[in-house]
Structure 1
Amino acid sequence: MSETTNSKSIGMSLKEAAERLAAVSETSRLDAELLMQKILGLERHELICRQNECLSPDKEAAFEELVLRRIKHEPIAYIRGLKEFWGILFEVGPGVLIPRPATELLVELALAAAAKMTGELHIADLGTGSGAISVAIASELKNRNRNFKIEALDWSDEALRFAQKNVDRYGLRDFINLGKSNWFEALENSKSCFDIIVSNPPYIAEDDESVMPDLAYEPRQALFSGPEGLDAIRELLFKVPEYLKEGGAFFCEFGATQKELIENFIKNNEFLSSNFVCSFYKDLSNFDRALKLEFKQLV
């Protein structure tokens, strides 16, 4: 028999891989398709049209290698080296947090706030990671012909390496300035300068037993933050008033069960409760997911 006769079709390989991946992924069929797309260099519609074609032995072996990596819970985004966010493909890999769909809410809120502001916008993205939030906001503002500058900061050299790739990938160097910083550290000379500050900080509790196995591959410092998962958020809330302009706003992502803890923290902080209003927003799954902190309007 020829090698071609012995080879599996693309469709059969996808079916078998999806069955094996079902034990580790709720999106096993999609995972299998994404892995096959990587091996064959095809778009999804092309893959669908070629289901009956046979895989060459080398492609079959390469696909099997990727399937085995996924069975070990390695995230699809790391295996592919790509993750879509806000309709944009971002380069990602070990050492940088994988952008999640829920975080698109921060982009929506920031853009809605920007639409109500006039003049040049000064924006800070704290803990930028892959640069997903900054690139998404910058792409939209650029298309709207707004004048703006984004300071995108992260403490991780590896994260900044990926962020730079993504900024360059979409030609946004003139709009996004990347820098190494532990939160506000690099902004000491920029107090009361920002119209919008946005952050997706770590917010998982250190002893959270519900954490998915896939997260073991992502940088721990981008995920976990103290016994309640709120150490970073509290630090940001404590410091952010120094850096906002009058009329500015701070947007921050948090965990689905943390709203009440955050409300209590703000309520018990006399300066925050006296001078700021905090609003909360739900994600598409109807979980509390983001907050907006803004100055109270003077009557």
Structure 2
Amino acid sequence: MNKRYSFYLILITSTLLGCNKVNITVDSDRVPVMSVNNEVLYADEIENILPANITGKDSVNFVENYKKNWAINILLYEKAEQNLRSTEEIDLLTEEYRKQLIINRYQQELISQKLKNISNDTLINVYEREKTNFILEDPIIKGVFVQIPSKAPNQKQLKKWLTEMNDNTLEKIEKYCIQYASRYIFFRDDWTPYSQVDKLFPHHVDWNDPILTRGLVEQKDSISTYFLRITGKANPGTIEPFEIALPKITNILSQGEKMNYIKSFENSLYNNAIKKQKITFFLSSEE
């Protein structure tokens, strides 16, 4: 039973518990669930927030609670409007808050667009300048991991290719893996936490184990042979590689550029508005 079918079955079950006829205008393209005054709750609104793995009685309870809370919010709002003497201040605050949200969203998009255009030289300069702030907390590696059935053919040849590791042997390794490997991961260009790779082996290998300095790690169990060819490694406490530090570099630039860029943009916007006579001064601040 798919999620959508299950959801509508739950919805029908819960809705039948309190079904009554009312004359309400509804969207003909949607499935109405309930209404309070002139507001309508539709099935898709509940479906969008229904947790993925919820089932059975929990699903029914979730739907019923959501419907009840939805109705209570509308009724409370109605009661508050009836009893508050004035909502003018709230309306003003709401409008101001809305304006600020729109402005903030636009500023974020401006900064995001500007950061996309940052040159690689700028990123490298920040990396070199701030190196002492980019320190690795956990070991990372680059390489190739291969797991093959224990009876797979030509294992010695595969081991030889992994040891040599060049463009020519890499192509041979890939072809071999496609045909025989039960699992293989090529991450020669991607720094990866060592802890993630270590979990792929049947037996834990400590980061300080000398075997990791040999470049090729091999393990076996009753069903598989495991190979890890290490092409790059970095110790905790050392400076992060540029690729790992890049998100932090971007954040530094974002914080540094944000105020200057936004201020410059605002001044430009203001001055252009004056030139185009979009702004009218009724009183001068000059003596």
Select the structure with the greater relative contact order (CA < 8 A; seq sep ≥ 6). 2
If each structure's helix is expressed as a fraction of its own residues, which one has the higher value?
Answer: 2
Larger Rg: 2
TM-score scaled by length of structure 2: 0.20
TM-score scaled by length of structure 1: 0.19
